[in-house]
Amino acid sequence: MDTGAGTFFGSKLGGELQTSLKAAGYTPNEIDAILLTHIHTDHSGGLVEQGKRVFPAATLYVGKPDVDFWFDRANATRFNVAEKYFDEAAKTVKPYLDADKVKSFSGKTALLPGITAHPTPGHTPTHSWS
């Protein structure tokens, strides 16, 4: 669930996910599902490295309202949100969209056996707990 900031905030504030996976005996290729609570870089930055998907076998599960919000740049003006957040969403999630590796959902949704997403707007208008 979520992937942390990756290297988006500098080497001192992230980028340890792959090291931690390796220490636990896993490789990025073994990860087949990633659940995002929302598309903010501190949650989605670890999805990519140098513009490429870190988890090539993984399907990314994220709320459809979040995808719709962050991939409509008109929302930057509508909601007075800095453009950089839309740029970061494109950098982190678009490689998975382009590879047809995103499953979006709306409302309370069973995603995987034993895992149900529940809308929890507040932090962002489109936040979900997965």
6 within domain boundaries: no
Per-residue confidence in pLDDT tens, the chain, 130 aa: 899 888 888 776 667 888 889 999 999 999 999 999 999 999 999 999 999 999 999 999 999 999 999 999 999 999 999 999 999 999 999 999 999 999 999 989 999 999 999 888 777 656 666 4
Domain membership of residue 25 (yes or no) is: yes
Q: Strand 59-63 relative to strand 102-105: parallel, antiparallel, unpaired?
A: parallel
Q: Is residue 60 part of a domain?
A: yes
Phi, psi of 115 (to 5 degrees): -125, 120
Please give the tally of structural domains in the chain: 1
Provide the residue range defining the domain that includes 54.
11-129
Question: Quick check: 92 and 62 in contact, CB under 8 A?
Answer: no
Q: Give one DSSP letter per residue of 62-108, joined into a string.
A: EEHHHHHHHT-THHHHHTT--HHHHHHHHHHHHHHHHTT-EEEE-SS
Residue 24: the pLDDT is 95
* Within-domain flag for 122: yes
- What is the per-residue pLDDT across 35-64, written as a single tens digit (0 to 9) for each? 999 999 999 999 999 999 999 999 999 999
Q: What span, in angstroms and rounded, lies between the C-alpha atoms of 28 and 33?
A: 11
d(CA 91, CA 26) in angstroms, rounded, equals 25
CATH number of domain containing 68: 3.60.15.10
pTM: 0.90
Predicted confidence at residue 9, as pLDDT, reads 82
